[in-house]
Amino acid sequence: MLRIETKARARALQLLYAWELQAGPSLPVIATGLARLSRCPDLDVLERAERLAAGVVTRLAALDRHAAEAAENWRLSRIATVERNILRLGILELERADVPPKVAIDEAVRLAHWFAGARAPAFVNGVLDRIAHSLGRL
């Protein structure tokens, strides 16, 4: 059984992915559509996911700067949409310090295993580790 926080992170990733691909419609509109498609909406998970996604959207420029600085030899535009949004969620959680840094990194790596390519987990782990060290969290 997955924890509610893990489910919320996965749903937040789905929200951010849809938000980015649709060129930024409102998150509540996307959340409503996603809940309707899932046919089993857990309101607590959806509310947590919306808060996480909104945090990313609000701090998008700063999160992208962190990711670009830490992703050596990678332009942010060359990072796939899924990986880019996993990094944004992970960086947000590292900055907020609501969870231990290892949890934020492990959860982001888990998302990469579930939703991204075979090399993504190692990439996400490396970038977030670098950022956690630069923020003094590790």
pLDDT bracket for residue 41 (50, 70, 90): low
The number of beta carbons lying within 10 Å of the beta carbon of residue 42 is 15
* Average pLDDT of every residue of the chain: 90
Range of the domain at 124: 4-134
d(CA 129, CA 30): 31
pLDDT, average across residues 28-34? 74
Tokens (6 digits) for 99: 């969870």
Pull the structure tokens for residue 52: 């996480």
Give pLDDT, residue 37.
72
- Could you tell me which of 70, 87, 108, 66 has the C-alpha nearest to residue 100? 108
- Which pLDDT value is given to residue 39? 64
3-state SS assignment for residue 79: coil
pLDDT, tens digit (0-9, with 9 covering 90-100), for 48-91: 999 999 999 999 999 999 999 998 888 888 899 999 999 999 99
Q: Rounded to two decimals, what is the model's pTM?
A: 0.92
C-alpha span between 128 and 126 (Å, rounded)? 6
Which element (helix H / strand E) includes 28?
Answer: helix 27-38
Q: What is the pLDDT of residue 62?
A: 96
- CATH code where residue 102 lies: 1.10.940.10
Nearest-5° Cα angle at 75, 70 to 79:
90
Looking at residues 97-123, what average pLDDT do you find?
A: 96
Domain count, the chain: 1
Query: Can you give the pLDDT at residue 22?
Result: 83
